[in-house]
Amino acid sequence: MAEGAAWCPNCCWHYSFSDVWVEPHPFRSGGPTLWFGGQRMHPALLRRLVRWGSGFNPLGTPSADDLAALRDGLIAAGRSLGSIEMIGGIRGRFPAPDAVADLDEALSSLPGQLAAGFGTICFKPSMYIDDAREVGALCRLLVRRVAEIA
């Protein structure tokens, strides 16, 4: 597979290119982990996840049908749902144009994500704070809140 050859320590070739090096080499010997996602589980996304995916990072909350398609596609390829990292996220709602989002409201979606197997949660700190000096405190608060939910 040409995609994997690019991460090896030697030069690689493929029908459409020759003498190609990718440097610096990835930290992981097998190459970088690849997360794929989208608004829904369409055939191209499923093919990418099954063939190359290390993680599923959907935009929004995937439907039960999307998760079933992912599970079935992985099983058909000899993989399990546990072989792929499930990446969820919290998204805040801004109550006013000049206000930050409410973290507790955003966290209300978390129990469902955890129950569906999402173990990595992404968030954008600037949605919840206006001052970069508050990032550390926000992260500590988020860790405490997630521990309470989990």
Rounded distance between C-alpha atoms, residue 8 and residue 20, angstroms: 11
Task: Please tell me the CATH code under which domain 30-149 is placed.
Answer: 3.20.20.30
Average pLDDT of the residues in 45-72: 94
Between the CA of residue 53 and those of 36, 48, 82, 135, 149, what are the distances in Å?
A: 7, 6, 12, 30, 28
Please state, in angstroms and rounded to a whole number, the distance separating the CA atoms of residues 135 and 150.
22
Tell me the pTM. Answer: 0.77
Q: In this model, does residue 80 exceed pLDDT 70?
A: yes
Q: In the predicted model, is pLDDT for residue 2 greater than 90?
A: no
Please determine, for residue 1, whether its predicted confidence score (pLDDT) is greater than 60.
no
Percentage of the chain modeled with pLDDT above 90: 64
How do the domains of the chain map onto residue ranges? 1-29, 30-149
- Computed over every residue of the chain, the mean pLDDT equals 87
State residue 11's pLDDT score: 60
